[in-house]
Amino acid sequence: MTTIYYNEFLFYTLLQEVKNPRHPLTNLAYDLAFGEISKYYLEFYNSNYNDDNLSEYDSIINYFNNY
């Protein structure tokens, strides 16, 4: 069984709110995106946008706005 963690779910959910057309998961149904969310979250997590001075929510929003 595959598990998705809260941080990854938050990442996907915020992307659906931001709707950045350049991101591959935008407008992709959850059941289709499920297998890819962890990969894209890790990309964010290892980026400079993962800022310890901001909340994870704000860091993810910044990431999507600049993707």
**Residue partners of 19: CB distance under 8 A and separation at least 6:** 26, 27
Tell me the whole-structure pTM to 2 decimals: 0.90
**1 pLDDT higher than 70:** no
pLDDT at site 27:
86
CA distance 66 to 52: 18
Summarised one tens digit per residue, pLDDT across range 12-64 is 999 999 989 999 999 888 889 999 999 999 999 999 999 999 999 999 999 99
Three-class secondary structure of residue 42 per DSSP: helix
Sorted by where each begins, the domain ranges of the chain are 6-65
AA letter at 46: N
Spatial distance between the Cα atoms of 65 and 41, rounded to a whole number of angstroms: 15
The pLDDT of residue 4: 87
Query: In angstroms, rounded to a whole number, what is the distance separating the alpha carbons of residues 50 and 58?
Result: 9
